[in-house]
């Protein structure tokens, strides 16, 4: 039995991904105080409710609340979790030691999935806590693997991973937004601009995934000397775009560390 506590965007994405991967709906419990969020799963065979006592039936408890709500949520769960349960936290910046401190002894797996979990294409980083057995870690990876790829990393690398794959989809959407605006500024209709950007990013991502070459080599193959792509790349280089992306990743990594320090 899997319980999901907190059915916000990430919790809902995980639930949808698990259901799409044919996880039995009757073996899932969703807990949230917001009835509207629960109503989205009504009639689909999933147990829903607002009482955290329901997690007592679960062997796996995914806590998908915002970091600021984590302490109160853990406090409410403490009296109900099975001693043998594994808690999977997807709260950004809150380390396993902080969660373990809320309980006498509990197996905690810290995970950072991203929103492509909704379509089974997540990239999830996973770090085991002090009391996690190899079997529990494998089980957590199998659950999260239902919605995409999983990488097990040391916990001290999870802040940087959060800045890349956790926040990364937003960076690409930002690029898509900027490209579409640029297309419109050059006279293309918004509908066509949107279509061009969507398919270009999709095709590039699929090509990147299928290729054995790295991103730099794939970029070079498109960048003919004196051509249109080179003209654009010169502008990127003059703006030091790589440094900007590096600074953005550093800022996101540092914010993850700050959130951990506030937990």
Q: What is the pLDDT of residues 53-70, one digit of tens each?
A: 999 989 999 999 988 888
Cα distance between residue 67 and residue 263, in whole Å: 7
The single residue listed with the structure tokens 């955290």 is 52
CA dist 4 and 233 (Å) reads 45
Average confidence (pLDDT) over 215-242? 96
> Would you give the end-to-end CA distance of the chain in angstroms?
28
Q: In angstroms, what is the C-alpha Rg of the chain?
A: 21
Q: Tell me, what's the pLDDT at 207?
A: 97
What are the extents of the domains in the chain? 2-155, 168-260
Q: Are 151 and 26 in contact (CB under 8 A)?
A: no
Local structure of 9: helix, strand or coil: helix
The CATH architecture annotation of domain 168-260 reads Orthogonal Bundle (1.10)
- CATH code of 2-155, in short, is 3.40.50.720
The string of pLDDT tens digits covering residues 169-213 is 999 999 999 999 999 999 999 999 999 999 999 999 999 999 999
Q: What angle do CA 44, 80, 258 make, to 5 degrees?
A: 90
The full length of the chain comes to: 263
pTM of the complete model? 0.86
Token readout for 100 is 């373990």
**pLDDT computed for residue 262 by the predictor:** 62
Is residue 141 classed as helix, strand or coil in its secondary structure? helix
The percent of residues in the chain predicted with pLDDT above 70, rounded, is 98
Place of tokens 């079997």: 135
pLDDT at 263 over 80: no
Task: Summarize pLDDT for 231-261 with one digit per residue, the tens.
Answer: 999 999 999 999 999 999 999 999 888 877 7
Segment 115-132 shows an average pLDDT of 92
CA distances from 4 to 16, 73, 112, 149, 220 (A): 11, 12, 15, 20, 45
CA-to-CA distance for 232 and 229, rounded, in angstroms?
A: 5
Query: What is the three-class DSSP state of 93?
Result: coil
């Amino acid at each position: 039995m899997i319980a999901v506590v907190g059915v916000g965007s990430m919790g809902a994405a995980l639930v949808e991904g698990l259901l799409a991967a044919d996880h039995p709906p009757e073996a899932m419990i969703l807990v949230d105080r917001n009835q509207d969020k629960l109503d989205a799963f009504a009639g689909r065979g999933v147990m829903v409710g607002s009482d955290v006592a329901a997690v007592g039936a679960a062997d796996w408890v995914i806590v998908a609340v915002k970091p600021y709500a984590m302490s109160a949520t853990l406090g409410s769960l403490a009296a109900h979790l099975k001693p043998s349960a594994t808690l999977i936290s997807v709260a950004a910046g809150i380390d396993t030691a902080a969660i373990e401190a809320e309980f006498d002894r509990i197996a905690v797996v810290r995970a950072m999935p991203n929103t492509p979990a909704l379509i089974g294409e997540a990239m999830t980083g996973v770090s085991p806590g002090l009391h996690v057995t190899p079997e529990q870690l494998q089980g957590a990876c199998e659950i999260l693997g239902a919605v995409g790829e999983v990488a097990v990393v040391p916990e001290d690398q999870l802040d940087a991973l959060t800045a890349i794959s956790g926040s990364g989809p937003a960076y690409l959407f930002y690029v898509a937004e900027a490209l579409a605006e640029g297309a419109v500024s050059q006279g293309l209709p918004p509908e066509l601009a949107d279509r061009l950007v969507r398919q270009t990013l999709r095709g590039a991502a699929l090509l990147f995934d299928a290729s054995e070459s790295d991103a730099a080599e794939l970029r070079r193959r498109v960048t003919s000397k004196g051509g249109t792509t080179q003209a654009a790349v010169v502008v990127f280089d003059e703006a030091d775009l790589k440094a900007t992306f590096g600074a953005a990743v550093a800022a996101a990594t540092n914010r993850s560390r700050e959130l951990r320090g506030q937990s």
